[in-house]
Amino acid sequence: MDIADWRTKIDELDRQIVALISARAHAAQEIGKLKRTIAMPVYEPNRERVIFENVRAANKGPLPDIELTHIYERIIDVMRALQKDELASKTGETGK
């Protein structure tokens, strides 16, 4: 494959990643709603630790575990903010 082919492949992969991140965000919103119902905190360090362990276990490279963990740290930060926004929207506050 030449560079154009690889770029086309990356564009398709990016579309798939966006769809998966959006699906993950929807799931996080739903979890935020459930957490509100049962008065559970948004931040759950033990759950986040499990996510990082799962990500590292699934990693087959070429990214080193630490780099993949950094990416997931950011994803989790955004999802946590989404849950806070979900919780805040129910109480009339802004989550930002």
Both tokens of 78, joined, read 């955004």
CA geometry: angle at 81 spanning 80 and 84, to 5°? 90
Query: pLDDT band for position 85 (50/70/90)?
Result: confident
Helical ranges in the chain per DSSP H: 3-37, 45-58, 65-91
Angle value at C-alpha 29, between 26 and 32, nearest 5 degrees = 155
What's the total number of domains in the chain? 1
**Domain for residue 23, yes or no?**
yes
Q: What is the pLDDT of residues 6-30, one digit of tens each?
A: 999 999 999 999 999 999 999 999 9
Contacts (Cβ under 8 Å, ≥6 apart) of 28: 79, 80, 82, 83
**Residue 96 falls inside a structural domain:** no
Residue 94 has pLDDT above 50, yes or no: no
Write the CATH number for 39.
1.20.59.10
Which domain covers residue 37, as residue numbers? 3-91
